[in-house]
A = this chain, B = another copy of it.
Amino acid sequence: MRINSSRRALTMLADVCMSVTLAGVLPVFGQPSILIRNATIIDGAGGPPIVDGAIAISGSKIAQVGPAAGVQTPAGAREIDAAGKFVIPGLMDANVHLVLNMTIEFHARYEDRYEDLIEEAAQVALRNGVTTVFDTWGPLGPLMNVRDRINRGEVAGSRMFVAGNIVGLSGPLGPDFNQHAATAASQAFVKRINQLYEENTGPDLLWRAPEQVRAEVRKYIARGVDFLKYAAAGHGRGRSSFLMFSPETQRAIVEECHRAGIVAQTHAMTVESLRQGIEAGADMGQHVELTGPEPMPDGLIKLMLARKFHAAVQPFTARRRNMMIEDASDPEEARQITVSQENIVRLIKSGVPLLLASDGGLRNPDEIAFQKPRAGIDRPFELREGPFLWLQAMSESGMAPMAAIQAATRNVAAAYRKLDTLGTIEKGKTADLVVLDADPLQDINNVRKIALVIKDGRIVDRDALPLKKVLTAPRPQPRPASENGR
Chain A interface (Cβ < 8 Å from any Cβ of B): 103-109, 111, 175, 180-181, 183-189, 191-192, 194-195, 198-200, 202-204, 206-210, 212, 215-216, 219, 234, 237-238, 240-249, 270-272, 275-276, 291-294, 297, 332, 364-367, 369-370, 475-479, 481, 484-486
Contacts and interface: CB of A to CB of B under 8 A. Distances in A.
Contact of A105 (B105, B242, B272): B105
18 contacts: A104-B184, A108-B109, A175-B237, A180-B180, A184-B184, A186-B364, A186-B369, A187-B370, A188-B370, A192-B475, A192-B476, A195-B478, A204-B484, A204-B486, A207-B293, A209-B272, A215-B485, A249-B272
A388 to B, nearest CB: 26
B484 A207 contact: no
Contacts of A186: 103, 105, 364, 366-367, 369-370
A461 B183 CA distance: 41
Nearest to A219: B485
Copies in the complex: 4
Contacts of A184: 103-104, 180-181, 184-185
Scoring A105, A204, A272, A367 by chain B CB atoms within 10 A of each residue's CB, the highest score goes to: A105
Nearest to A208: B294
A270 B205 CA distance: 11
Nearest to A187: B370
Given A104-B105, A105-B108, A206 B270 contact: yes
A453 to B, nearest CB: 32
Contacts of A485: 200, 204, 215-216, 219
Given A247-B247, A485-B216, A294 B475 contact: no
Q: Which 10 A-B pairs have the closest CB atoms?
A: A105-B108, A200-B485, A188-B369, A243-B243, A108-B108, A180-B184, A207-B292, A188-B366, A186-B366, A184-B184
Contacts of A293: 204, 207
Given A183-B180, A241-B234, A208 B370 contact: no
Nearest to A185: B105
A270 B199 CA distance: 22
A372 to B, nearest CB: 10
A32 to B, nearest CB: 41
Scoring A104, A111, A188 by chain B CB atoms within 10 A of each residue's CB, the highest score goes to: A188
A186 B475 CA distance: 13
A475 B188 contact: yes
Given A185-B104, A247-B247, A271-B208, A175 B238 contact: yes
Contacts of A476: 192
B246 A243 contact: yes
A237 B175 CA distance: 9
Nearest to A202: B484
A359 to B, nearest CB: 20
A209 B271 contact: yes
Given A105-B185, A184-B180, A246 B275 contact: yes
A369 B186 CA distance: 9
Nearest to A369: B188
A412 B389 CA distance: 61
Given A188-B370, A209-B294, A246 B272 contact: yes
A65 B212 CA distance: 53
